[in-house]
Amino acid sequence: MNKLIKSIAMGIAGVAMTATAALAADYPERPIGVAVSYGAGGATDFQARIVTMVAGNEDILGQPMYIVNKPGAGGRVGWNWFATEADADGYTLSAYNIPHFVAQSIKGGVQYSKDSFEPIANWGADPAVVVVGKDSKFNTIQELVDFAKANPGKATLSGAGLFVGHHIAALQIEKATEAKFAYIPTKGGGAAAMKAVIAGDVVGGINNLSDAFRAREAGNVKILAVADLQRNEEFLPDVPTLMEAGYDVDNASVNFRGLMVKKGTPQEVIDKLAAKVPEMFANARVVKRMKAGGSPMKIMSRAEVQAMWEKRQETLTELLAGL
Partner 1 sequence: MEFLSYFGGVFEPISFLLLLGGTIGGLILGATPGLSPTMAVALLIPFTFHLQPAQGLILLGAAYTSTVAGGAVSAILLKIPGAPANIATSLDGNAMAKKGEGARALHLSFLASGVGGVIGVLLLIFLTPVLAQWALAFSYSHLFWMAILGVTVIGSLDSKSFVKGLLSGCIGLWLSMIGFDDNLGAQRFIFTDALAGGIHIIPALIGLFAIPQVMEMFAKGRANAAIEALEVPKQSFMDSLRELTRNIRALSIGTVFGSIIGIIPGVGGQIAGLVAYDQARKFSPEKEKFGTGHPEGIIAAESANNAMVGPSLVPLLTLSIPGSPTAAVLLGGLIIHGIFPGSDLFDNHPQVAWTFINSMLIGQILMVIFGIYTATWAARIARAPVPIMAAAVMVLALFGSYSVQQSMGDVYIMLSLGVGMFFLEKFGFSAAPLVLGLILGPIAESNFTTGSLIAQAQDGPLLYFMTGPLNMFLIFLVIASVAYSFWSNMVLGKKSVPAEAQS
Q: Which residues bind partner 1 (CB under 8 A)?
A: 39-42, 45-46, 49-50, 53, 68-74, 76-77, 80-81, 84-85, 104, 107, 109, 111, 153-156, 161-163, 182, 184-188, 191-192, 194-195, 198-199, 201-202, 214-215, 217-220, 289, 292-294
Of 109 and 237, nearer to partner 1 (C-beta) is 109
Q: How far is the CB of 14 from partner 1 (least distance, A)?
A: 27
| For partner 1, the closer CB: 97 or 251 | 97
Say how far apart CA 117 and CA 115 lie, in whole Å. 5
HEC letters along 16-67: HHHHHHHHHHHCCCCCEEEEECCCCCCHHHHHHHHHCCCCCCCCCCCCCEEE
Of 42 and 119, the one with the shorter C-beta distance to partner 1 is: 42
At closest approach, how far in Å is the CB of 320 from partner 1? Answer: 12
Minimum distance, C-beta of residue 86 to partner 1, in the bound complex (Å): 11
Q: Looking at beta carbons only, is 214 or 311 nearer to partner 1?
A: 214
Q: 212 or 243, CB closer to partner 1? A: 212
Smaller CB separation from partner 1, 185 or 240? 185
**Shortest Å, Cβ 311 to partner 1:** 24
Considering the complex, what minimum distance in angstroms separates the CB of residue 141 from partner 1? 19
Alpha-carbon span 6 to 304, nearest angstrom: 47
Pick between residue 196 and residue 273 the one whose CB is nearest to partner 1: 196
Minimum CB distance to partner 1, residue 157 (Å):
10
* Smallest distance, partner 1 to C-beta of residue 7, A: 29
Write down the least CB distance from residue 304 to partner 1, Å. Answer: 27
Alpha carbons 35 and 258: distance in angstroms, whole number: 12
Which residue, 207 or 313, has its beta carbon nearer to partner 1?
Answer: 207
